[in-house]
Amino acid sequence: MAVKCSVIFFFLLCVLKYSRGELCPKKCDCDMNKGLNRATCVDQNIISVDVGVPKAVQVYSLSRNVISELDNFCFKEAGYLSLEILDLSYNLIFWIGLHAFSGLDKLVHLDLSNNRLRYIPSDLFWDTPKLTFLDLSFNIFETLKNEPILMHTSLQVLSLNNCRIKSLPDRLFTRLPNLKKLDLSENYVVTLSTQVLAPLRKLDRIELRSDYLKCTQDFITVESWIASRGIAYQKYCTKRTSNMFEKIIAAPKIEKEEVDVNNVWNMTKPVNNVTSVPETPLTPFEKFDKDFSAVQAFIIGLELGLAFGVVMTYIWLRKFCKCGQLNCSRDQSRRRNRRLRRLRDSDMRASLLWNTVITPDSVTPPTFRRQMSMPDRNQVPTYGVPVVREAGLRVDAIRVPRPARSETPPPPYNECRITV
């Protein structure tokens, strides 16, 4: 009998282990709650909605994890098509795909609070026709466009608590015809108009708790309109007004003492029946110091320095450069004169060389000139000029221009000596 009991007990343990270990992951707790299959995966550093929970899950809690994005068809691809309650609060969600909730036809309750959402498309929940409760509180919807925030015909409860909303456009709730409860408290809204709430024909309760609301005439009119529609609402301006009056009544009355004119030290004394003391005229520097601060004076000095630099640069360019076109060229007078002198010198040198070639005897040589032997004139081209035959010259020859002269030639170069 004991053996049979141990076998049955071991079999039950195996079945329990299979049902809880194989189907439900270690990070989650799977149980039944009010007749619904519940999977609780809280504070487990989960980054995706698909963690291996059973496909028949109906209540799915992924709160306090690190999920940052919801991709398109993420629940449909994971097989979670029986979800009715979904909790994604306290995550890092900043982007949701347009078809992220596709396939969740039975979803009724959705919690997206305490995330990092800045914008959601108006038709984001088009694939969840039975959605009635939506919590978007503690997100970052700072600036809302003048368009419907959501388009849903079955939504009844919407929470936008503490979403840093600065203003409520007129068309914000025009596509929520069956909304019954609205929470707009703890936002940065300063005032409200009846055109924002007029499209909510079935609204039963509204929350507007905020420290930024001002009891202007427009807001008092909105409160009167809310009361006339029978909407449950805690009046804001009446409570604030009573508190203000209570503070004023409770404040002690401070009596001021009379001031003796004779004890005031800065009163002007009459001088020659004149009560006013003439003011000393200020110097230009003192007046400038009084009218302008240090930063303004620095900016003025900087502007004056830049203007002076621009003017002086312009004057220098006008004086030393000619900028008639895009390119700037210096004065070419000196360069032109130098070029002309070079041309004249080169022309003179060329003419002398040419005359030497054509008419070698045109230049009168000195009386006696010691010169090197020149090549044979027959080898030099004469360019059509008749050739004059002369005797060949030798090395260290003495050219005698006229044979009639009888001057004594100088001694040879190698015989020159210096006698001391």
Full residue range of the structural domain in which residue 239 is found: 21-248
Say if residue 234 is in the same domain as residue 334.
no
Say if residue 238 is in the same domain as residue 98.
yes
- Rounded to two decimals, the pTM is 0.54
Q: What is the pLDDT of residue 317?
A: 84
More confident residue, 318 or 109: 109
Residue 11 forms part of a structural domain: no
Q: What is the pLDDT of residues 24-36, one digit of tens each?
A: 999 999 999 999 9
Say if residue 201 is in the same domain as residue 105.
yes
Say if residue 318 is in the same domain as residue 219.
no
Residue 8 — left, alpha, or beta (φ > 0 → left; ψ -120 to 50 → alpha)?
A: alpha
Among 205, 233, 248, the domain boundary falls at: 248
What's the mean pLDDT in 69-98?
Answer: 95
Q: Are 391 and 400 in contact (CB under 8 A)?
A: no
More confident residue, 231 or 261: 231
Rounded CA-CA distance 92/118 in Å is 12
pLDDT band with cut points at 50, 70 and 90 for residue 356: low
Residue 226 forms part of a structural domain: yes
Least-confidence region, from 92-101, 128-137, 214-223: 214-223
Say if residue 195 is in the same domain as residue 336.
no
Q: Are 177 and 199 in contact (CB under 8 A)?
A: yes
Say if residue 179 is in the same domain as residue 312.
no
What would the two tokens of residue 299 be? Answer: 């900016």
pLDDT band with cut points at 50, 70 and 90 for residue 136: very high
Say if residue 242 is in the same domain as residue 305.
no
Say if residue 214 is in the same domain as residue 89.
yes
Residue 288 forms part of a structural domain: no
Say if residue 224 is in the same domain as residue 313.
no
Residue 292 forms part of a structural domain: no
pLDDT at 211 over 50: yes
Residue 293 forms part of a structural domain: no
Residue 374 forms part of a structural domain: no
Q: Which residues contact 346 (CB under 8 A, 6 or more apart)?
A: none
Residue 78 — left, alpha, or beta (φ > 0 → left; ψ -120 to 50 → alpha)?
A: alpha
What's the mean pLDDT in 231-254?
Answer: 62
Q: What is the pLDDT of residues 366-407, one digit of tens each?
A: 544 444 445 555 555 555 555 555 554 444 444 445 555 555
Q: What is the pLDDT of residues 151-199, one digit of tens each?
A: 999 999 999 999 999 999 999 999 999 999 999 999 999 888 899 999 9
Q: Are 154 and 129 in contact (CB under 8 A)?
A: yes
The total of structural domains in the chain comes to: 2
What would the two tokens of residue 147 be? Answer: 């368009």
Say if residue 91 is in the same domain as residue 185.
yes
Q: What is the pLDDT of residues 264-296, one digit of tens each?
A: 555 455 545 444 555 677 787 777 777 777 888
Instruction: Name residue, tokens 């008419």.
Output: 359
Q: What is the pLDDT of residue 418?
A: 53
Rounded CA-CA distance 139/159 in Å is 11
Say if residue 47 is in the same domain as residue 151.
yes
More confident residue, 259 or 182: 182
Residue 375 forms part of a structural domain: no
Return the exposure string of 353-368: e unless at least 16 CB atoms fall within 10 Å of the residue's CB, then b: eeeeeeeeeeeeeeee
Say if residue 41 is in the same domain as residue 120.
yes
Residue 397 forms part of a structural domain: no
Rounded CA-CA distance 158/210 in Å is 17
Among 315, 340, 365, the domain boundary falls at: 340
Q: Are 136 and 114 in contact (CB under 8 A)?
A: no
- Residue 210 belongs to a domain with what CATH number? 3.80.10.10
What's the mean pLDDT in 305-332?
Answer: 73
Q: What is the pLDDT of residue 7?
A: 38
Q: Tell me the one-letter amino acid at 129.
A: P
